[in-house]
A = this chain, B = another copy of it.
């Protein structure tokens, strides 16, 4: 069982390395958005696209077990999107992303947002060749989640604490949630925002701009 998993992951990693090299050659910032189902990934993307589409080139790969809804929402917001349906599959794999990119054709210097299947477990193990994983964690989920899903919170470079507009109505200790995340991953960047109201998005946009700049500077490194 373990041997098998190792073999599947090794095969995935080879595809991921190819994706990563292609992104690097094309100076594309690729972000792998991971979270529980319903934590607000698509809403986050919709607002980001509406706000930044004149400033940054945004492309989206949507991963879902079923339906084409999220791809349609993204296109309605103003970005090109390719929808992948995984069927019974619980995560995106690097070769799926590679094929999606052939259809999506993201421009040089763009940002490719990959919205993974809503699942706080399996996508942690599958490198897609992204620059980093962005874990979205909504305040309705309980502050213990980083401790209970340490693989994912350990694998992410940035944690977006979402739905902060709901803080008055839920029992959620923000300081403890952040401490739990830092216990698992001391270097994790933490942003707080509300996809619904837009509160906190400027810091997210600044982070995106900084990452795009850093990538451009590193293209020949």
A interface residues with partner B (beta carbon < 8 Å): 1, 4, 8, 36-38, 64-67, 69-70, 88-90, 117-122, 124-125, 138, 140-142, 144-145, 147-151, 163, 165-166, 169-171, 196
Contact = CB atoms under 8 A, between A and B. Distances in A.
- Chain B CB within 10 Å, residue with most, of A1, A4, A169: A169
A37 B166 contact: no
- Number of this chain's copies in the assembly equals 2
The CB with the most chain B CB atoms within 10 A, among A8, A141, A196, is that of A141
Nearest to A152: B65
Contact of A140 (B64, B138, B149): B138
A149 B64 CA distance: 8
Q: Which of A37, A89, A147 has the most CB of B within 10 A?
A: A37
Given A38-B142, A140-B138, A66 B148 contact: yes
Interface of A is mostly: loop
Given A38-B140, A64-B148, A66-B150, 7 more contacts: A4-B4, A36-B38, A37-B145, A37-B149, A67-B144, A88-B124, A166-B166
Given A4-B4, A141-B38, A88 B125 contact: yes
Which 3 residue pairs are nearest across A and B when measured between Cβ atoms?
A38-B141, A90-B121, A140-B140
B90 A147 contact: no
Contacts of A88: 121, 124-125, 151
A65 B140 contact: no
Contacts of A119: 90, 119-122
A69 B147 contact: yes
Contacts of A151: 65, 88
